[in-house]
Structure formats: structure tokens, C-alpha cells
């Protein structure tokens, strides 16, 4: 199974991202737009791995805490255009704990630096690439209440993502100073 751990989005975020993709399209951008149902924030990419229960155990051991995702900024990684997120320390702490738990459990994962982004379009083609910098990012946000273990399968029209399981975030108790 090809696995990854992700934050899936509420309808508010999906609607905002879909409108942004429509704006890009209306400005003449063509390419492989991420289907709305596949929009997500990758927390850790695992790849081919046959034991989803072990991954769920590691996710649970990481004890994720609630975070807030707020859309902010756009950019590109070569032939991939993305929308960014405002920095939320809880999100980065969740990533560090999740990666440590995966490592402790001996589960292989992509160790690239965590750079929170949402892929909008791959292999974009347009007459003027400055169109990316000219778009207005919607002011949408959501609270992250859980992280999901996702399975990725190749379908006739592209990738199909299915949730295998989820781990709910818990409030961290802070000791009084």
C-alpha cells in the first residue's frame, strides 16, 4: 500500500481552494489541477508500506494536538504551484512528534524538511507565469481536530485517496508556572 499521513480539509477550505483553482483557470492556466477531493496537507509521506496498523499506532503515540490552518501566500516548487499556510507552532510540533514516532517505530518515511503547502496544480502552463503572484489568497481557516492515514491508489483518471484511519488531536495540558 502507498501511504501518507495528512490533514484533510473542511468544506470551507475546499471551497476556497476550488475557487482559487477556478480563478487560475480563468486566467489561462492549464495543467494537472488537484481534484477538490484530493486536496490535503501532507504531514508525512510514507510510500509503499504493508502495515497500516503500525502507522496508526505511531500516529497515536505522537499525541497530535489541535492546530489552526490559515491559508497564506502562494509559490512554486519547479513545476508545482501551491498555496501556503500561516505558521502555526502546533502544526510544526505535530510534525516533529509524528516523524519521531514513525522513526522510533522503524517506519520509513520521506525525511524532507516539513514545508506545509497545498498543491493546487502540477505542470502548470500559461503565457505569463507572473499570474501566480497576482492571485488573491482567500482568508479561509480551520481547526485541525485529527490527522488521517491515507492510502493512494492509481485510478483511470489519476490518484484516488482513501482514508484508512484517523487519530484525534487532544489538548495538551500545560503545567502551571
Instruction: Return the CATH number at 93.
Output: 3.90.1140.10
What does pLDDT average to in each consecutive run of 10 residues of the chain (177 residues)?
97 96 94 96 98 98 96 93 96 97 98 95 90 90 97 93 96 54
CB 90 within 8 A of CB 169: no
**Domain, as residue range, for 58:** 2-168
CB 151 within 8 A of CB 161: yes
Residue 17 resides in a domain: yes
pTM (predicted TM-score): 0.93
- Please tell me the distance from the alpha carbon of residue 26 to that of residue 40, in angstroms, as a whole number: 23
Angle at 42 between CA 39 and CA 48, to 5 degrees: 105
Residue 25 resides in a domain: yes
Name, in order, each residue with C-beta under 8 angstroms of 75's C-beta and a sequence gap of 6 or more: 81, 82, 84, 117, 132
pLDDT at 175: 45
- Please tell me the distance from the alpha carbon of residue 137 to that of residue 58, in angstroms, as a whole number: 34
Residue 12 resides in a domain: yes
Q: Among 59, 52, 20, 56, which residue's Cα sits nearest to residue 36?
A: 20
Residue 62 resides in a domain: yes
Residue 177 resides in a domain: no
Give the count of domains, the chain: 1
- Concatenated DSSP letters of 101-136: HHHHTT-----SPP--EEEEEEEEE-S-TTHHHHSP
Residue 33 resides in a domain: yes
Amino acid at each position: 500500500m502507498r501511504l501518507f499521513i495528512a490533514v484533510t480539509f473542511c468544506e470551507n477550505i475546499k471551497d476556497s481552494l476550488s475557487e482559487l483553482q477556478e480563478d487560475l483557470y480563468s486566467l489561462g492556466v492549464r495543467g494537472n489541477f488537484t481534484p477538490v477531493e484530493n486536496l490535503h496537507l501532507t504531514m508525512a509521506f510514507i510510500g509503499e508500506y504493508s502495515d497500516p496498523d503500525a502507522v496508526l499506532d505511531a500516529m497515536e503515540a505522537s499525541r497530535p494536538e489541535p492546530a489552526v490552518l490559515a491559508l497564506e501566500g502562494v509559490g512554486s516548487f519547479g513545476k508545482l504551484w501551491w498555496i501556503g499556510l500561516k505558521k502555526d507552532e502546533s502544526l510544526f510540533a505535530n510534525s516533529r512528534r509524528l516523524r519521531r514516532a514513525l522513526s522510533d517505530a522503524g517506519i520509513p518515511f520521506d525525511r524532507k524538511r516539513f514545508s506545509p503547502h497545498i498543491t493546487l496544480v502540477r505542470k502548470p502552463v500559461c503565457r505569463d507565469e507572473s499570474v501566480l503572484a497576482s492571485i488573491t489568497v482567500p482568508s479561509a481557516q480551520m481547526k485541525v481536530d485529527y490527522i488521517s492515514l491515507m492510502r493512494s491508489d492509481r485510478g483511470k483518471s489519476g490518484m484516488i485517496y482513501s482514508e484508512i484511519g484517523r487519530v484525534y488531536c487532544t489538548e495538551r495540558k500545560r503545567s502551571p508556572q
